[in-house]
């Protein structure tokens, strides 16, 4: 976080793409998003992608009914030809991030994530949100949600998926007091 003009820490603009909304909604975990980040900025292209999905019978949220969602159109979107295969939603999310003083993008698409890395834009995705929600006590477990994501055809590298499945946190009795405090604060 960067200090604002008053010397206070400015919260980042959390800018979310389509798939995290879709998957969190289908998992029944959409409420973790505002619990973790507060307000979420969404480009109109993401809302349009969700509306198209809804018109095709997909189970997706209606973002216009979520008080914690703010719609913002990027100014530079037409001037951002990052990659030929990058979707409108991803392009708009990255364009808004480039226009923001303190962005954090939430996206799952592999090409979009690579573009964010190249542009040095901080990011997370659906899996990162679920892990953060578990750390904060917002959800009881991640493993059943990984199984649901697999059934929903969530694409994740087999290496990453395998490491998440085998991840076992250390039991609290194995940690020093200072480590326990750090985990509670993180």
> Please, what is the end-to-end C-alpha distance for the chain in angstroms?
15
pTM of the model: 0.79
- Determine whether 155 is exposed, middle or buried from the number of CB atoms within 10 Å of its CB (0-12, 13-18, 19+): exposed
Torsion of CA 17, 23, 27, 33, to 10 degrees: -10
**Nearest-angstrom CA–CA distance, 50 and 171:** 41
User: Tell me: the pLDDT tens digits for 79-132?
Assistant: 555 556 788 999 999 999 999 999 999 999 989 999 999 999 999 999 999 999
Residue 156 CB partners (closer than 8 Å, separation 6+)? 127, 149, 164
Domains and CATH numbers, the chain: 2-139 (3.40.50.1010)
Q: What is the C-alpha to C-alpha distance for residues 50 and 61, in angstroms, rounded to an integer? A: 7
Q: pLDDT at position 173, please?
A: 38
pLDDT digits (tens, 9 = 90+) for 67-76: 999 999 998 7
């Amino acid at each position: 976080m960067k200090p604002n003009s008053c010397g206070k820490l400015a919260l980042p603009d959390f800018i979310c793409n389509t798939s995290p909304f879709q998957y969190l909604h289908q998992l029944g975990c959409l409420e973790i998003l505002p619990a973790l980040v507060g307000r979420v900025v969404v480009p109109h292209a993401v809302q349009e992608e969700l509306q198209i999905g809804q018109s095709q019978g997909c189970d997706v949220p209606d973002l216009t009914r979520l008080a914690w969602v703010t719609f913002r159109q990027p100014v530079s979107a037409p001037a951002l030809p990052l990659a030929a295969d990058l979707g409108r939603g991803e392009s708009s999310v990255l364009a808004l991030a480039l226009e923001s003083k303190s962005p954090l993008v939430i996206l799952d698409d592999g090409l979009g994530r690579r573009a964010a890395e190249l542009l040095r834009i901080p990011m997370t995705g659906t899996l990162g949100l679920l892990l953060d929600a578990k750390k904060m006590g917002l959800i009881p477990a991640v493993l059943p949600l990984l199984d649901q994501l697999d059934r929903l055809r969530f694409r994740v590298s087999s290496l990453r998926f395998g490491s998440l499945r085998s991840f076992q946190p250390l039991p609290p009795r194995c940690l020093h007091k200072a480590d326990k405090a750090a985990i509670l604060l993180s």
